[in-house]
Amino acid sequence: MRPRGRRSALLLIVVLTGTGCVHSSKTSASSISFAGKVNRRGTVTVAHAPDQPTLLQMDLSNYAFTPTVVKVKAGTDLTLQLRNTGTVAHSFTINALHVDFVVLPGQGVNQPMKGFTAGQIHFVCRFHRTRGMQGGFLVDP
Ligand SMILES: [Cu+2]
């Protein structure tokens, strides 16, 4: 009596938010480097889906992004589902891309991310960067 569609959706979320390496290659030499403290809450690899936007849930808490590192292929059409699960306001800020908005506790924002090019893209909470609240996209060619 279980609805099938719902079950597979739940499984997909588990894969995307897990800290395990489902598709990532551990032999990859590329890793992301950070300046200063980082509270690491896992790495996920986004499956490349050329014809449809990929949803990725990311939690903003006190004081970390979960996941912290997102591996993605260049050109991926990604929508971040940002949720603030903490108790104070956090920002999602990418200085290089002029992305900057604040997410209040208990609230969520969907942020489309398109046109990834190969390399590292860092994001921070501009309020709590020095507490280790930062992360990044590692973009494969
Ligand atoms: Cu913050």
pLDDT tens digits, 25-34: 333 436 899 9
Range of the domain at 129: 4-140
What DSSP designation does 98 have? T
Give me ligand 1 centre to Cα 116, in Å.
Answer: 24
Give me ligand 1 centre to Cα 139, in Å.
Answer: 24
Is residue 47 scored above 50 in pLDDT? yes
pLDDT tens digits, residue range 54-109? 999 999 999 999 999 999 999 899 999 999 999 999 999 999 889 999 999 999 99
Residue 15's SS3 state is: helix
Give me ligand 1 centre to Cα 133, in Å.
Answer: 6
Count of the separate structural domains present in the chain: 1
**CA dist., res. 43 & res. 45, Å (int):** 7
Give me ligand 1 centre to Cα 69, in Å.
Answer: 16
Which tokens hold the place of 44?
């996920």
CATH number at residue 104: 2.60.40.420
What pLDDT score was predicted for residue 30? 65
Give me ligand 1 centre to Cα 86, in Å.
Answer: 9
